[in-house]
Structure 1
């Protein structure tokens, strides 16, 4: 899977800005996988290939809810590769004790939310902060939708547009995701929506998807 399909890039006042959500680095032992995927290295190489001026990770940088030694080691490897890039992490529900790793890197900031050019960036598991913004990017729910292609139904990762909010799918290729009908209930300020618009990479656009 091309990681670029499940990330987003735009030009901001900080230059070329790369956004992605929910990498869940170090997931293998917590998902019963005995073979290292080396996903953290593939993700770092993807960032380097894009050469952004700013990287915004919309939370759940790691799978471990705490910070086991394995998780710490994998994160150190990941962040060491990205030492030349400015990285903002909007803290997610899986990011407990993440600061114990990021404090070793001057280029990495961990925040509850981030505002850039009147755009709000946050994970999505908490209530909205009391700040002004025109649009927002979220993660958290790993959205997928059930679509029919040539008469065969399948689950597909998707971007979700709901009002002035855009929800990104997980960038982790080993995670399928959650049905948007269930996932949207996990975002406190969007849980009462009735329809959303979907973009299923690379080119399927669905308006008014019922939830």
Structure 2
């Protein structure tokens, strides 16, 4: 399991919206150690919470998969409650992901946290990416879900790196979890109902370097 060399700042996105400074991040997968048989807890979520609190955005948007286990065992609920307690009451919107079953139970004590299927702000749509799009026209659409990555090949060596991926008005964010690798885009896009037929996609390294346009089909 590789550890991303990028910082939380690299793997998140800051937007200026009518709600002020808006911090967007995707696919935390808190508690992933519980599902993957790891004996040691990384506790990365405490570092992430410190980053968010220090950034102190006017609004935090989490694009789903806040947690890894599909259920909500007591230990995970405690971990999640500790995480949200560290956010210092920052207004937070969670667009529910496919791993977020019963997430409402964990965030119920926090009046600053709202769980929705999708979120519309100004002319922008935010959602996880595992369901169909809601009706409407949006200038920008932000999603996660597929943990986009690109595989560099040189000789017989391969190196996979997380990327931001754009096609038209859609921007796909990488997972902010430094311990979780991404999926090659050719595989990942098959998991997004409304992007399965995309032919080309532009990719960017987290620090902003444009890698180019890659072909998805043919």
Segments of structure 2 that go 5 or more residues without pairing to the other structure are: 1-5
Aligned to 1:115: 120
1:83 and 1:129 mapped to 2: Cα distance?
A: 32
Match of 2:172 among 167, 174, 195: 167
Structure 1 position 85 matched with structure 2 position 113: no
TM-score normalized with structure 1 length: 0.96
1:205 and 1:196 mapped to 2: Cα distance?
A: 12
Asked whether the equivalents of residues 66 and 96 of structure 1 are also in contact (C-alpha less than 8 Å), the reply is yes
Aligned to 1:33: 38
Asked whether the equivalents of residues 34 and 69 of structure 2 are also in contact (C-alpha less than 8 Å), the reply is no
Equivalenced residues, count: 211
Note the C-alpha offset of 1:151: 8.8
Matched residue SS, 1:3: coil
Cα deviation code 1:147-167 (max 9, x no counterpart): 247995311100000110000
Match of 1:136 among 141, 147, 164: 141
Matched residue SS, 2:9: helix
Matched residue SS, 1:201: coil
Structural mapping, 1:33-72, within 5 Å: 33-72=38-77
Aligned to 2:3: none
Aligned to 1:205: 210
Match of 2:159 among 154, 157, 160: 154
Asked whether the equivalents of residues 66 and 100 of structure 2 are also in contact (C-alpha less than 8 Å), the reply is yes
C-alpha change, 1:151 and 1:14, in structure 2 (3 Å) is: farther
Structure 1 position 103 matched with structure 2 position 108: yes
Asked whether the equivalents of residues 3 and 46 of structure 1 are also in contact (C-alpha less than 8 Å), the reply is yes
Matched residue SS, 1:114: strand
2:7 and 2:26 mapped to 1: Cα distance?
A: 15
Aligned to 2:199: 194
Structure 1 position 76 matched with structure 2 position 76: no
Asked whether the equivalents of residues 53 and 88 of structure 2 are also in contact (C-alpha less than 8 Å), the reply is no
Structure 1 position 126 matched with structure 2 position 115: no
1:42 and 1:31 mapped to 2: Cα distance?
A: 20
C-alpha change, 1:150 and 1:46, in structure 2 (3 Å) is: farther
Note the C-alpha offset of 1:30: 0.8
Asked whether the equivalents of residues 83 and 107 of structure 1 are also in contact (C-alpha less than 8 Å), the reply is no
